Chains A and B, each alone.
Chain A
Amino acid sequence: MKNLKTSRWTVRASLSGVLLGVALIAGCGGGGGGGGTPPPTLQNVATVTVDGEYNSFNSLFVTLKICQHGSTSNCVTVDHVTIDTGSIGLRVLANSLNSLNPTFLTNLPTVTETASSNANLTGPLAECEQFGGGYTWGSVRNVDITISGTNETASNVPMQVIGDFGVSQPTCASESVTGYQLTGEDYTNNTANPLTNEYLGGNGLIGVSLFQWDCLGCITDAQPMEGDPATPTLAYVVCPDTTGNGCQPTTAALTEQVANPISSFATDNNGYIIAMDAVTATAGSSTAVSGTMTFGIGTQSNNAIGSATTFQADPDTEPGVINTTWQGTVYDGLFDTGSSAFYFTNTTNPTIALCGTMAPDNEIYCPGGANATMNGAGTTVNLSATIQDYLGDASPSSLVNFSVTNPLANYTNSTIAADNIGGTVVFNYFIWGMPYFYGHKLYFGMAGINGTTLMLTRNPFYAF
């Protein structure tokens, strides 16, 4: 039996004995060439894992080697970077970087606005990025990012360092839905949790959405107007120094923006495939679940789309949804490794009860009721929803089966991965979160955007 209030998918509790610097990734792909034969080219497969590190639940991790752009010596290998298909760009905790290599950040230049790039203020560039779970704040620095176990490198890509310009930014906090960074809040005294991996649930996150950039408006507007009615939104700021004080909103060229690193690979840059081992037990897995992330689609002999069915995603609005029909209603569907559950609205099935009335229990489904016993009647329900492309018409459709179990009854405190947890969702979305990925192979076809004309050159899609 599991107590949701202390469970892994809620805000990270403190965890001692954290091991830093454990490289997870073994080399994959082609073997060593010899005898004068050309080097193998199939080094495009990374091993990924859901291992529960940093008290995480259903978090998909990869290891990266991050180097100062152009340097082979000022580098750091960062394990446990969360793969997030629902955001864009690499963001790593300063605290983790400093722990892994105390001189890395010291020697890593920050992108700097100069008199020619910014008429009003010169100094280091920083970013405020909003997530549903909080915001991230910190400097922007150019790095070369190599996915461990592969020879895929994104060269000269801006990343965000979380927490090197002070622990917060007032305007960013005021626009945040939580008022706190992604590491959350200490509820006993209403203060920010430390910006450390045990509170983030990893050393950073790598956003690999279907899109390359997330602020085209920032090219021309220091605080791009978003939404209707249009509202100015803080994104990039320029600061007089590295204290985080006195910063002002600024424009940011695409080359300065924290972008999806995959788009900057020399090859294999048009998408990727995530394939995870299955989780079979109703109680989930208490040991690591492995998978692969294969880069490129149709670029190598190991990433052909084959007989998979393609579903075009909405090219017009990030994050690029596909239609999901569930309980007779069409919802915006999204495949997101950064969401730890299936999130959907339940309007017709009374057996899918909520786990309680208070957060987080009232956000999570408990089939059979909150007081059900382990493997009791009705504690696991088999469900299905239909996926179509974003237009929902004249397209192939696919019925996807999934199940939702009662985590209070059926999980244990050592459950670190599960394919059967569901939660309530807000508005009309159906989120195919991390539970979907176990036992599945999903292609992410990334949109192509011309960086000069900003016109779409390749439609985003999912395929499975």
Chain B
Amino acid sequence: MNKSGLTFNLPKHSARWLAGVLLLAAGAAHAELGGNFASVQAEAQRLNGTLHTISTANYDVHEIQVNSRTVERQYMNHSGQVFGIAWKSEGVADLKSMLGRYFPTYQGGAVRRIDLHHSALSSPDLVVEVGSYLHTFMGRAYVPAQLPAGAAASEIH
């Protein structure tokens, strides 16, 4: 019940993210697909969220945890480029901000409705999948050509 005052703030899941916690206070530009660590930091500040980073063999995951309902994960290759983003949000997500330079591609593309609650755009340049249940929105976006070797698209979620 968003907006209802029925906030119980019960702990929902145990922490799944291991790396050190970094509270950020810098930056100006929005984080976006194709961005870099500075833009990740800027996004964490925009969202007033807590940034956790977990490193894998093929990429780093920067998770910005705002609260239990709003989380954003940015997937960055070892060259420092964000190649994928996954998010859930209470209320409509700021796709323009998150997709950045790719937003016009999304806007101009054939976004297919899959069912009442899912739609997707896929092109060689860009994949965007979104879903929504009531006021909870979720989605992921990635640039297929920039997936690091050894990484699968399914790892962005």
Contacts and interface: CB of A to CB of B under 8 A. Distances in A.
Contacts, number: 230
Given A231-B91, A233-B92, A318 B1 contact: yes
A175 B117 CA distance: 15
Given A339-B116, A423-B114, A132 B154 contact: no
Given A87-B116, A178-B113, A228-B67, A132 B130 contact: yes
A424 interface: yes
Contacts of A216: 1-4
* Size range of the chain A interface in the assembly: 35 or more
Interface string A328-358: 0110001010111101011100000000011
Interface stretch (B31-39, B51-59, B120-128): B120-128
A226 B134 contact: no
Given A134-B119, A177-B95, A345-B157, A9 B114 contact: yes
A358 B122 contact: yes
A339 B118 CA distance: 8
A231 B114 contact: no
B10 A363 contact: no
A426 B140 contact: yes
Interface stretch (A179-187, A265-273, A368-376, A403-411): A179-187
A293 B66 CA distance: 39
A39 B140 CA distance: 54
Given A86-B133, A216-B3, A134 B113 contact: yes
B154 A363 contact: no
Interface stretch (A18-26, A152-160, A207-215): A207-215
B24 interface: no
Contacts of B123: 358
Contact of B116 (A318, A338, A357): A338
Interface string B127-148: 1011111111111100010000
Interface string A212-226: 001111000000101
A463 to B, nearest CB: 20
A319 B133 contact: yes
B8 A315 contact: yes
Contacts of B70: 227-228
Given A185-B111, A449-B1, A229 B48 contact: yes
A230 B91 CA distance: 8
Interface in A123-177: 130-134, 175, 177
A180 B130 CA distance: 14
29 contacts: A130-B92, A130-B137, A133-B113, A133-B114, A133-B119, A134-B113, A180-B111, A211-B134, A226-B92, A227-B90, A228-B48, A230-B91, A231-B94, A233-B91, A315-B6, A316-B9, A338-B115, A338-B116, A343-B118, A346-B154, A347-B154, A360-B122, A363-B118, A424-B129, A426-B129, A426-B131, A426-B157, A449-B4, A454-B6
